[in-house]
Structure 1
Amino acid sequence: MAGTSRLSLLFAHLVLIAGAAVMMLPLYVAFVASTYAGADFLSGRVGLLPGPHLVENYRLALTTGSSTAGIPPVGPMLWNSLVVAVVIAAGKISISILSAFAICYFRFPLRVPAFWLIFMTLMLPVEVRILPTFEVAARLDLLNSYAGLTVPLIASATATFLFRQVFMTIPDELTEAAIIDGAGPLRFFWSILLPLSRTNIAALFVILFLYGWNQYLWPLLVTTDASYFTVVMGIRRLVGAAAEADPVWHLVMATAILALVPPVLVIAALQRLFVRGLTETEK
């Protein structure tokens, strides 16, 4: 029995390693391609090992870009994407947790219809309401600004719903004890609800950070100034340039690898809290 269990465990590990290798193969190919010259990529002289232009290509992508193709450097675009992702994630969490707190712990007229009205906005994604949203942003002079890139995307019915479900699992006895101790609503929210929601906030932050980082359509509409381009927009412009003019596929691959770094760091830093936030069912 012990030998059979060892064989089963070995087989399971081999299957998992093979699956991870298949998932990592495209990333490795992109990394290897980013270390060769553009001409080598087009002529098919890219090998299985990294090439001699790793430092040169990444320095060129970060600081210079492609002047002949009209591509700005990736460094500022990474910064813009980071600002947009952090502001969207923090804004969504802040607004959603306060909305869920009001819906769960305050008794006001039309409280339940208000929640369902918020929940129904899930049926209206950005793509559906993008024209009126753009018109409002243009009239408020939010184009080509960080406010225009982030404020229209901050509200989140999904996060409000998730925080409401979290708050509903908190025992009523805890609320009653806080009232007996003289804690007001803000003290109860700050000292009890926020610490109990720490893992859920971390899990939502990871998801919403990725949502903000991967935004393409909305930044494409509200920005015409290259100083506000995000890295996803930069990759798309690089792909267009590589298909039409200069052989800049090495810069495309370098930019794609650089665009992976911040999300990977966020996931790695919050991995434990992220898993706990998705798996915990009781407080």
Structure 2
Amino acid sequence: MIEKTKGVDRAANIVLATGMIFILFPLVITLVTATQSYEDFVRNGFSFMPGTHFLDNISIVIETTHLPRQILNSIIMATMMATIKCVIAFLTAYAIVYFRIRYGGIIFAMVLVTNLMPLELRFITTYQVASNVMLPVNAFLEFTGIARIIELISGHHPHYKLSILNTYFGLAAPLLANGTGTFLFRQYFRSLPADLSKAAKMDGAGPIRFLWDILMPLSKSNFAALFLIMFLGGWTQYLWPLVAASTPEMQTAVVGLARLSPGIPGEVPQYPAIMAGAVMVSVIPLLMIAFMQRHIVRGLTLTEK
């Protein structure tokens, strides 16, 4: 018996079309505004008719702002953050699933707790540590009394200071604490045949070879999906890069884009150039999503098994 589903299909199409309009409308406004000149925008306001000044607005952004360098900073920071997160998550999940670790469940729970402590909740302490990563060393010297001994010998109280602010490592390091990747890889490893590691061991493969020759090839789609998720998370970070980077040359694209608006009260913002900058900032994430879409769907689907 074939049920008539034309009404359901029609309602689903209406909902889908409404959602697409809701999502695409801001993008259309951005693209159209980026093609208009500043004079036309001031005179006519927002318009739905595309102009012919898109390349001119791009040139204004490139010549008068630090946005191109800031886009490069975002690429470096997001790539560094996503790569390190993927490697840590892969190795952590591998150890939890394929090794008999005492209190492994407690360790895994502690890894997941990192999701409950976002950077916004530990912002002040994170900034204090990033401004001087030698704080634990100084505390250790004070606690053990070694600082007093050094002071008696040299006549100077030891206090070491090393800041990672305004560096690529300083932008990425505080954002690495996240258990999402470990959870995804753990779920995927548990979906694999339980005898896979035993068969590899019977063939003479040790833990490293099993990791490199078997798990790594099987996890390519998961790596691609997790890498893109973490890359986009790093690309859209605003609060920490705003504070951790004190110079425009080290700020990220999102921070630079937010600072394109004028700070003078009453001045009409250069909206066409700002929208052109928004297009420049959005190109790389959109291209990554477009080219890696198949791997994303496959990786997340395999993880849910």
The verdict on a shared fold, with TM-score over 0.5 as the criterion, is yes
For residues 19 and 207 of structure 1, the distance between their equivalents in structure 2, rounded to whole angstroms, comes to 22
Change (3 A) 1:280 1:242: farther
Provide the residue aligned with 1:151 in structure 2.
173
Flag the 1:242–1:10 CA change in 2: closer, same or farther, 3 A: farther
Q: Deviations over 1:20-62 (max 9, x none)?
A: 233211111111111222233233344322212111101211x
**What is the number of equivalent residue pairs in this alignment?**
275
Cα RMSD over matched residues? 2.3
- Structure 2 match to 1:59: 59
Query: C-alpha displacement at 1:271, in angstroms?
Result: 0.2
Correspondence 1:214 to 2:233: no
Matched, 1:127 2:120: yes
> Letter of the aligned partner of 1:49 in structure 2?
M
- Which of the residues 131, 135, 138 maps onto 2:131? 138
Distance in structure 1 (CA, Å) of the matches to 2:266 and 2:102: 60
SS at match of 2:120: coil
For the 8 Å contact 1:34–1:251, the answer to whether it is kept is yes
After TM superposition, give the deviation of residue 218 of structure 1 in Å.
Answer: 0.5
Cα-to-partner distance string for 1:162-206 (whole Å, 9 max, x where unaligned): 111111112121111000011111110111111222221111112
Map 1:233-244; keep pairs closer than 5 Å. Answer: 233-241=255-263
Question: What displacement does 1:10 show?
Answer: 6.5
Aligned partner of 1:247 among 262, 269, 294? 269
Distance 2:268 2:131 in 1: 35
1:87 and 1:259, CA in 2 relative to 1: closer, same or farther beyond 3 A? same
| 1:183 aligned partner | 205
Name the CA distance, whole Å, in 2 between partners of 1:282 and 1:123.
Answer: 22
Q: Residue 82 in 1 paired to residue 75 in 2?
A: yes
Corresponding residue of 2:291:
269
Q: 1:101 — aligned with what? A: 94
Q: Aligned residues: percent identity?
A: 40
Partner of 2:158: none
Offset at 1:100? Answer: 0.9
Say which SS state the counterpart of residue 85 (structure 1) adopts. Answer: helix
Is the Cα contact below 8 Å between 1:38 and 1:247 reproduced in 2? Answer: no
Q: Is 2:35–2:272's contact at 8 Å kept on the other side of the alignment?
A: yes
Q: Does the aligned pair in 2 maintain the 1:42–1:247 contact within 8 Å?
A: no
Cα distance, 1:281 vs. partner? 5.3
